[in-house]
Structure 1
Amino acid sequence: MTFIKTTEQSSKYDSLDTMSVKDLLTNINKEDQTVPLAVQQALPQIETLVTQIVAKMKLGGRLFYIGAGTSGRLGVVDASECPPTFGVPFDMVVGIIAGGDSAIRNAVENAEDNATQAWVDLQQYNITDKDVVIGIAASGTTPYVIGGLKTCNDNNIITGSISCNAESPLSQTAQFPIDVVVGPEFVTGSSRMKAGTAQKLVLNMLSTATMIQLGKVKGNKMVDMQLSNSKLVDRGVKMIMSEIPVTYEIASDLLSKYGSVRKAVENWNN
């Protein structure tokens, strides 16, 4: 199959600069509605990768995301949300962006073109074959990401990928690729739009499904979430009240005493 970079193809819309605000928003929204359908087509690939991640994490492994630009930032965001949401250690899911943390806010020139740097970045975390590394690149051609996965493969580390072009070099490199083909962007080549949305949806699925499989959710509740602000404390109290027959005040005391919804529910009779 010939590799076609659909993320770089010309927009289906022209004369954007003459459209009214209403027309711009309507057409962007129309394109955005195609993204979940593209993700749906990739569900079998996503399921396979989640299964691999869960198996490794049950053995004490970690999950790493590597990417550049928007893709790297999305990986960092997903990784950073896992500790507060699921109460896991900060280094259980790690997002690495080409150019280092400064690249989260500002573009770092040529960072994505360095094919050897990702492995250097991963080695700072003492990566082993217990871990899983997922490369994220809308184009599927980013040297930083492809080079990182190639070296991981050479070191018997499980690799996955998220790309928005079918049969991309990245997909060919990853052992467990995910291809979410969203087609041309509303603004030609602006892959922070549909491609970025698709990547975010897939990352949501990967981390959430993995954490549920690891027992970090009970019923439909985030019972291990970090109680980092008053809103979350109030949510935690109400979670406890939905699980055991106690008043708000007692639930609040239990939460304060045990530090998590799970422990409060498990120990309330003690």
Structure 2
Amino acid sequence: MSFQDNEYFVDAIKIHFLGINRFLENKLLLNTFYLIFLILIFMLIIFNFLYQDKKKFIFLIDSILIETIIWIIPTLIILLISLYTIKSSFYLNPFKNIYLNIKPLIIESISLNWKWMFIFPHQKILSFNEICLPIFIPIKLYLISNSIMNSLCIPKMGFQLYCMTNCIKYAYMLPLKHGISHAISSNYSGIGFKSMRINIFFVSKKTFFHWINVIKNLISFNIKNYNKIIKRGYFYYPKFFSIKNNKIFFSILKKK
């Protein structure tokens, strides 16, 4: 899917939304509303026609033709809404990669009590409760929980994904606008639940790699440090580390 071929489409999204998923979801809801509104207009026209003349009203009460029309047209509209919704749901499937012409950025996320851990395996960095994402680059996000079931929700991206132990989930997204957003845990997980907020910065590709290079010069993180981090508690501010072992995510999975 190439967005450079349709500049108007891209500009429309950039004005209002940070991601294409949110734009398409809103478009789906609006189009469904318009189709439902057609039923209301149709019913108003019919009732207006029936009540204009009492003789017509008496005649049309026993009219098979009118009764058939009154039932068939709304039924067809509802069928159209159903087909449109089903088709759109498959298109908006977060597990489907619709950006085949661009290699995605891999991010591995782990839900801890009460913090979010993000690993950039190819860039060899790790962060807690804050990430930068490059615009116009597809993101493939892997997700797992270290303890109880949790849910990562990014409202401005139209993204929400549940995670649990021993189960890797993944989803695709595509940021399309510079800006700042927040992600939250939308599944209650205890007293530190309110601290599970993530700062997300949508930046240019150049700024993203600058952010990566700065973190690479910080203190190194390994699986031993992870055993200390998993203890219950929350951070008052984000933390960043460089990593040498880019297989931390799957090492944690094997330990479960």
The TM-score with structure 2 as length reference comes to 0.28
Bigger proportion of residues as helix: 1
Structure 1 or 2: more strand by fraction? 2
TM-score, normalising length: structure 1: 0.27
